[in-house]
Amino acid sequence: MSGNQQIRLRYALARSGFALDIAAEIPLQGVTGVYGASGAGKTTLLRCIAGLEQADEGELVVDGQRWQGPGYSLPANQREIAYVFQEPRLFSHLTVRENIEYGWRRRRRDDGVAIDAVVQLLGLGDLLQRRPAGLSGGEAQRVAIARALLRSPRFVLMDEPLASLDDARKAEILPFLERLPAELSLPVIYVSHNIDEICRLCDHLLVLDDGRLAASGALQSVLVDLNIPALAGDEASSVIAGTIAGFDAEYELTEIEFTGGRLWLPGILGTKGDALRLRIRASDVSLNRDRAVRSTILNLLEVVIEDVQDTRGPTQLVKLAVGQERLVARITRRSLEELELQPGDTVVAQIKAAAVRGPQTGEAEK
Amino acid sequence: MDLGPLWLSVQLATVTMLLLLLIATPLGWWLAWTRSPMRPVIQSVVALPIVLPPTVMGFYLLVLLGPAGAVGSWWLELTGSALTFSFTGLVIASCIYSLPFAVQPVMSAFESVRNSDLEAAWTLGASHRDAFFSIALPQSLRGYLNAAVLTFAHTLGEFGVVLMVGGNIPGETRVIAIDIYDQVESLNYAAAHQLSMLLLLFAFFVLLAMFVINRRWRTT
């Protein structure tokens, strides 16, 4: 897929108590997250793209083809998209097999994915003869994903597909979602208000705030933008990409190498050379003026302060440069002033990191 | 026992049922989904036969379908025969008289079809028409079964409207209910009893079958 393929969209609509006014460009590759609080307009945006919602003004160009413009709107059934809703929405009068064949029988191109491949990818082999009423929530959502993928879409829309599931079911489906873009080479637009899912799955990020686009760009750079209030909450995080450099077998630790240095993570996380994605919460990063002599924190990195959040709350976010990566740290305003931290200062960061995407999906990294 | 009137009744009920299922489909769909302020008005018109005495229905139908009536005169010009006191006239009258028994169950079934299912079907490539036939209709089969049974049984038991519009012409408009009335009038109680019992048992078993099937449907 060439890099200039993209979705260009502009939507404006007003409903009672809610207005959406967005113009954005979304790459037709990888996973693009759409993040925002509930009521920010994420679902409405997705429904506009799918043709389920009529906007007052709408424009949608997919890979150079106009799907919607002034006085023109392709009907929902003629837009080659796969839509995975929050709820499975399986057809109760059809078996699982008939459900997943519903879109496949109506596909407009034949170069799409094969039924068997999707059935295998989503582990549906034993469910095909069942009725939707007999499925668990996680199984039903997997069937819904398979059904959507099989209509040979140009791209996939996912509207919080995990939101209605408990943690165990989420853990069951997340690996499928991780593998999907790479194995089927389908671009995905993934709506979520869960920053953990965003960090795990997405390469690109749109942030919506009150019906407007607050930010868009590569995941790593948007996450560390201190001027986006929607991202500055308790969950503020940064994501870095690294590779496994080695192990400490005795203490069961994995050493990760990235452009800014090396980090130790608990557990044996793969084999040497595997690509990993790490999520680092702002609250798991602390700053020292000097290298601490003895600490229970394994990871100490020299970082340069790049920016300090401009607020008067009890805590502030600080953006840090380390190698080519950027981190955010949440520290109290008192510490900031006592240590006299300024942009440009070199300090030592203590870091706890967690791997969010394992080596089995390392090929998915761009 | 002359089974002619019974056979005529079955023919009338079958034709009426089939026509009503066709009519109830667009009407029920419209009533189930419309936001038009006309909805309660149309609903009331459809439900009128439930509350009106058959004689009132029959009287206005007689006026309307008669050779001087708006529909009757047009029909007379078109075909050369009158609508009143004919089988065709009976079918039209029955369709109007049994309309609510077809529309109500079909409408309820359509109302329970979820809009979210239809949206999912559209995003899977189904046009509105396709989604209707592949999702809404199969999910509403129970409503259609109920509508079929109720209109058939209701038409079979029709008396007042038939008497007003159709009269009592053997082989053309003498249906079973009229025949029973005739037998009683001529004090032929044995024949009346036979026919009545036949109708009673038939009605009972048809309703029984419907309720049993409905129950099964719910549990699967």
Which pLDDT score is estimated for B1?
62
Spatial separation of the C-alpha atoms in residues A53 and A330, rounded to whole Å: 40
In chain B, what percentage of residues exceed pLDDT 90? 49
Which pLDDT score is estimated for A361?
42
Mean pLDDT of chain B: 90
What would the mean pLDDT of A8-31 be, rounded to a whole number?
92
What would the mean pLDDT of A178-201 be, rounded to a whole number?
88
Cβ contacts of B205 within 8 Å, gap of 6 or more: none
Of B124, B125, B139, which has the smallest distance from its Cβ to A92's Cβ?
B139
Which pLDDT score is estimated for A178?
84
Interface contact A106-B130, CB threshold 8 A:
yes
Write out the DSSP string of A110-129. Answer: SSS--HHHHHHHTT-TTTTT
Q: How confident is the model at residue B219 (pLDDT cuts 50, 70, 90)?
A: low
Residue that has been written with the tokens 């969010």 in this structure:
A356
| Higher pLDDT, residue A158 or B84 | A158
The interface predicted TM-score (ipTM) is 0.85
pLDDT digit string, tens, across residues B19-58: 999 999 999 999 999 999 999 999 999 999 989 898 898 8
Q: Is the pLDDT of residue A124 over 50?
A: yes
Nearest CA in chain A to B127: A77
Q: Does A89 touch chain B (CB under 8 A)?
A: yes
Of B123, B125, B139, which has the smallest distance from its Cβ to A93's Cβ?
B139
Identity of the highest mean pLDDT range in A154-168, B49-63, B132-146: B132-146
Q: Does B125 touch chain A (CB under 8 A)?
A: yes
Q: How confident is the model at residue A112 (pLDDT cuts 50, 70, 90)?
A: low
Class of domain B4-219: mainly alpha
The rounded Cα B39 to chain-centroid distance in angstroms is 21
Spatial separation of the C-alpha atoms in residues A183 and A180, rounded to whole Å: 5
Interface contact B123-A75, CB threshold 8 A:
no
What would the mean pLDDT of A213-236 be, rounded to a whole number?
87
The rounded Cα A209 to chain-centroid distance in angstroms is 17
What would the mean pLDDT of A34-59 be, rounded to a whole number?
92
Spatial separation of the C-alpha atoms in residues A197 and A194, rounded to whole Å: 6
Return the sign of the alpha-carbon dihedral for residues A200, A204, A209, A211: negative
Residues of B in contact with A75 (CB under 8 A): 122, 127
Cβ contacts of B87 within 8 Å, gap of 6 or more: B8, B11, B12, B166, B172, B173
Of A85, A106, A108, which has the smallest distance from its Cβ to B120's Cβ?
A85
Q: Are A264 and A352 in contact (CB under 8 A)?
A: no
What would the mean pLDDT of A188-209 be, rounded to a whole number?
92
Of B114, B126, B135, which has the smallest distance from its Cβ to A106's Cβ?
B126
A contact test, residue of B115, B117, B119, B123 with most A CBs within 10 A: B123
Kindly list the strands in the beta sheet with A155-159, ordered across the sheet, starting from the edge strand earlier in the chain: A72-73, A65-69, A57-62, A6-15, A18-27, A212-218, A204-209, A31-35, A188-192, A155-159, A81-84
Pull the structure tokens for residue A256.
Answer: 């990760």
Q: Does A84 touch chain B (CB under 8 A)?
A: no
Closest of A333, A335, A331 to residue A312, by C-alpha: A333
DSSP reduced 3-state for A4: coil
Query: What radius of gyration, in Å, describes the C-alpha atoms of chain A?
Result: 22
What would the mean pLDDT of A200-220 be, rounded to a whole number?
92
Spatial separation of the C-alpha atoms in residues A133 and A96, rounded to whole Å: 10
Which pLDDT score is estimated for A165?
83
Q: Is the pLDDT of residue A238 over 80?
A: yes
Which pLDDT score is estimated for A354?
78
Q: How confident is the model at residue A292 (pLDDT cuts 50, 70, 90)?
A: low
Q: Are A203 and A217 in contact (CB under 8 A)?
A: no
What would the mean pLDDT of A32-46 be, rounded to a whole number?
92
Q: Does B56 touch chain A (CB under 8 A)?
A: no
Pull the structure tokens for residue B178.
Answer: 């009229």
Ordered domains of chain A (ranges, CATH): 6-223 (3.40.50.300), 237-364 (2.40.50.100)
Q: Calculate the dihedral angle through the C-alpha atoms of A120, A122, A123, A125, rounding to the nearest 10 degrees.
A: -60
Which pLDDT score is estimated for A331?
92
Residue that has been written with the tokens 């593998």 in this structure:
A179
Spatial separation of the C-alpha atoms in residues A84 and A7, rounded to whole Å: 18
In chain B, what percentage of residues exceed pLDDT 70? 98
Q: How confident is the model at residue A359 (pLDDT cuts 50, 70, 90)?
A: low
pLDDT digit string, tens, across residues A74-99: 999 999 999 999 999 999 999 999 99
A contact test, residue of B118, B119, B124, B127 with most A CBs within 10 A: B124
What would the mean pLDDT of B108-118 be, rounded to a whole number?
95
Interface contact B124-A103, CB threshold 8 A:
yes
Mean pLDDT of chain A: 88
Convert A277-295 to b/e letters by CB count within 10 Å (16 or more is b).
Answer: bbbbbbbbbbbeeeeeeee
Q: Is the pLDDT of residue A360 over 50?
A: no
pLDDT digit string, tens, across residues B158-206: 888 888 888 888 888 888 888 888 889 899 899 899 889 988 998 899 8
Q: Are A292 and A300 in contact (CB under 8 A)?
A: yes
Spatial separation of the C-alpha atoms in residues B56 and B183, rounded to whole Å: 25
Crossing angle of the two packed helices B4-33 and B176-185, in degrees rounded to 10: 130
Spatial separation of the C-alpha atoms in residues A282 and A353, rounded to whole Å: 10
Pull the structure tokens for residue B52.
Answer: 């009106």
Write out the DSSP string of A25-49. Answer: EEESSSEEEEE--TTSSHHHHHHHH
Q: How would you write A285-324 as a 3-class SS string?
A: EEEECCCCCCCCCCEEEEEEEEEECCCCCCEEEEEEEECC
Identity of the highest mean pLDDT range in A229-233, A313-317, B138-142, B159-163: B138-142
For A130, left (φ over 0), alpha (ψ -120 to 50), or beta?
Answer: beta
Domain ranges of chain B: 4-219
Spatial separation of the C-alpha atoms in residues A267 and A247, rounded to whole Å: 9
Of A89, A106, A108, which has the smallest distance from its Cβ to B120's Cβ?
A89
What would the mean pLDDT of B140-146 be, rounded to a whole number?
93
Which pLDDT score is estimated for B178?
87
Q: Is the pLDDT of residue A299 over 70?
A: yes
Which pLDDT score is estimated for A1?
41
Q: Is the pLDDT of residue B122 over 60?
A: yes
DSSP conformation class of B133: I
Q: Are A150 and A100 in contact (CB under 8 A)?
A: yes
Q: Is the pLDDT of residue A364 over 60?
A: no
